[in-house]
Structure 1
Amino acid sequence: MIEQPDDLGGLLMRATRGMRRRWLEALEPVGVSPHEFRALVAIDQAESPRVGVVAQELRINPRSATEVVDSLELMGLVLREPDPTDRRAVRVLLTDRGREVLATGQRARRESHEAHLRGLTPQERQQLGALLRRVIETSSD
């Protein structure tokens, strides 16, 4: 199918697919999926959250978040510990290995994105960023 010049949605989807493909390739040596990587980011940013918080951050149901945390725990990237404020609850913490994988993944992500956008000048990148922020701010989830 030939794209029409005004098919911005299609162009954006194509650009996004290309970035995702590069991102998958960049994460392969790290040993985690993009979804698992996003969970590591959420756990790091929330500073020892409960699994429910991880679910909210990833916008998935709590059962799915439990499965992601289980996977990360099996890889030795996170551990669970009792919540000191509620003995029925469990918090999720990054291990030293989890922090290493997170840092490596963040580097790989930056390099992947940089490679994908290398054809744009700094001014064009700034314009693109401003336009995408506006699209995000004015659209609903």
Structure 2
Amino acid sequence: MTTPDADGLLAEQLLRLTRRVHRIQKRHLERCGLDITPAQSRLLRTLAHYGSPPRMADLAEHLEVVPRAVTTLVDGLEAHGRVRRAPDPANRRVIRIEMTDEGRKALRELRGARRAAAEEILAPLTDEQREVLGALLDTLVDGVITTDGSDRRH
């Protein structure tokens, strides 16, 4: 059983690792001249998973943010030509968000930067250690098994 101090240390290590990943990813993005925030990056990645352009409300729900936050993100991405607003053909009051060719290019560069950052950070680990880390992270991201054996997913 871990002590509260040990849990606090683990939490701090996770935060430090997250900051390091962001720093390294940002460095790789700067090398290719891509100026994009982590939140804009997340919106582009989310947008790429939709089969057809989603509504702003869909994006807000998926990202678990208020609609105003999505509006701000879309404004920034639209200013750089990475997305565009388009009226829904079935209901002109509804606005859908489409990724542009520039947005798809930015997404490719983002993926490359994320891969390069991951390779840099994971370099000291063996393949077996990477598998263990992946399984542990899946457990933390997906939820936990409680002490009574029930599965509590978030």
TM-score of the two chains, using structure 1 as the length reference: 0.88
Shift of residue 26, structure 1, vs aligned partner: 2.4
Q: Which residue of structure 2 aligns with residue 8 of structure 1?
A: 10
Shift of residue 53, structure 1, vs aligned partner: 1.3
Q: Which residue of structure 1 aligns with residue 48 of structure 2?
A: 44
* Cα gap change, 1:99 to 1:5, in 2 (>3 Å): closer
C-alpha contact (below 8 Å) 1:27/1:33 kept by paired residues? no
Deviation per residue, 1:53-97 (Å, 9 max, x gap): 111222211011011101111111111111122221011101111
Q: How do residues 90-109 of structure 1 correspond to structure 2 at under 5 angstroms?
A: 90-109=95-114
Q: Secondary structure at the match of 1:86?
A: coil
Shift of residue 6, structure 1, vs aligned partner: 8.0
Q: Tell me, yes or no, if structure 1 residue 123 matches structure 2 residue 125.
A: no
Q: Which residue of structure 1 aligns with residue 118 of structure 2?
A: 113
Moved over 3 A (4+): 3-6
Please tell me the residue identity of whatever aligns with 1:43.
Answer: L
* Cα gap change, 1:121 to 1:95, in 2 (>3 Å): same
Q: Tell me, yes or no, if structure 1 residue 84 matches structure 2 residue 89.
A: yes
Shift of residue 34, structure 1, vs aligned partner: 1.1
* Cα gap change, 1:7 to 1:81, in 2 (>3 Å): same
Q: Which residue of structure 1 aligns with residue 58 of structure 2?
A: 53
Shift of residue 4, structure 1, vs aligned partner: 5.6
Which consecutive unaligned segments of at least 5 residues does structure 1 have? none
Which consecutive unaligned segments of at least 5 residues does structure 2 have? 145-152
Q: Percent identity?
A: 35
Rg bigger for which structure? 2
Shift of residue 10, structure 1, vs aligned partner: 2.1
Looking at structure 1, the residues matched to 23 and 41 of structure 2 have their Cα atoms a distance apart, in angstroms, of 15
Superposed CA RMSD: 2.0
* Cα gap change, 1:82 to 1:125, in 2 (>3 Å): same
Please tell me the residue identity of whatever aligns with 1:37.
Answer: S
TM-score of the two chains, using structure 2 as the length reference: 0.81
Q: Which residue of structure 1 aligns with residue 139 of structure 2?
A: 134
Shift of residue 137, structure 1, vs aligned partner: 2.3
The one of 74, 81, 89 equivalent to 1:69 is 74
